[in-house]
Each structure stands twice: as structure tokens, then as C-alpha cells.
Structure 1
Amino acid sequence: MKASVEISMYPLREQYCQPIIDFIDELESHPEVSIQRNSMSTHIYGDYQAVMDTLNTEMLKVLEQIPETVFVIKLIGTDREKAVIDTCG
């Protein structure tokens, strides 16, 4: 089963940029998932188990270092990597 995740990370500290960049860099070190960065969130695509294993591993690392971090996650059980955005009108 394929999965698509949109994730945003909010380290509740004054120096918040570098931990976010480091987190995304670590996500990208997992070749079994596809990562797309943008200015508001990061998208992760791949097999459901690979996506969830990657998130579990990398979020745990962050929370061990910066427990005051908030993650906001959206998950859908389909591959949306190449989906065309359809507008309601």
C-alpha cells in the first residue's frame, strides 16, 4: 500500500531553523521514500511501512534532542506524489 504524508515541524525554541533543516536532511537519507521540500511543509511518499518507519525513526531522534517539538502530520493511503491539484469551483 502506498502512502503520502505532509509534515510540518515546529521546534519550540528561539533557534528553530537548523533543527528543521537537519530533520529534512535526515528524512532524505532514507532512499526507500521520496521527499519533496517546500516552504511550509515537507511531503513524504512511498510504501506505507517505509514512510511510517522513516517518520518513526527521525521524529524519535528529534524528540530525544528537543522534546518541545510539535509535529503536524497529514496522511493519506494513496500515492499523491505526481497528483494534479484539482480546484473546486
Structure 2
Amino acid sequence: MKLTAEMSLYPLQENYIPIIRTFIEDAAKKSGVTLVSNAMSTQVCGDWATVIELVDQCLRASTERFGKQVLVCKFIPGELEISE
């Protein structure tokens, strides 16, 4: 089953842009997903387990590297057409 996740990361520190970029770059390394970023969020679509694993791994790695942050994530069952 396919799953689409729309994610917005909010690092809890002043120099937040490099942290967000690193999060997106890490997410883009995951094979088997379609990823599109814009100014407000990053959308990821793929197999259910793969998307959940991506969210877990990317948030865990980002938190370990950069400290506290908030990830707002919407999960939409199914495959959506995501475009830039």
C-alpha cells in the first residue's frame, strides 16, 4: 500500500536553514520514494513501510545532530500526484 507524507521541520534554534536542508538531503537519499520540496514542506510518496522508515530515520538523525526540533507531518494513505 502506498503512503504520502507531507513534512515541515521546525528546528528550535536561530540558524535553522542548514538543518532543514540537511533533513531534506537525507530524505532524498532514500530509494523507492518520490520526494518534492517547496518553500513550505517536503512531500514524500512511496511504499507505506518505506515512508514511515524514512520519517523515523531522518528525524532521529537530525535530532541527534542538531538537537530539539519539531516535525509536523501529515500522512495521506494512497499515492498522490505531487508536483513541484
TM-score range, shorter chain: over 0.9
Q: C-alpha distance in 1, partners of 2:18/2:3?
A: 27
Aligned pair count reads: 83
Q: CA contact under 8 A between 2:3 and 2:47: conserved in structure 1?
A: yes
Letter in 1 for 2:37: R
1:87 is aligned to none
Q: C-alpha distance in 1, partners of 2:7/2:68?
A: 16
2:15 is aligned to 15
SS in 2 for 1:55: helix
1:77 is aligned to 77
Q: Percent identity?
A: 31
TM-score under structure 1 length normalisation:
0.87
**Root mean square deviation of aligned Cα:** 1.3
Give CA-to-partner distance per residue, 1:4-60, whole Å, 9 cap, x none: 010000001010000000100110001211100100000000000010111111110
Letter in 2 for 1:42: T
State the 4+ residue runs in structure 1 displaced beyond 6 angstroms.
Answer: none
**1:66 is aligned to 2:66:** yes
Structure having the larger proportion of residues in strand: 2
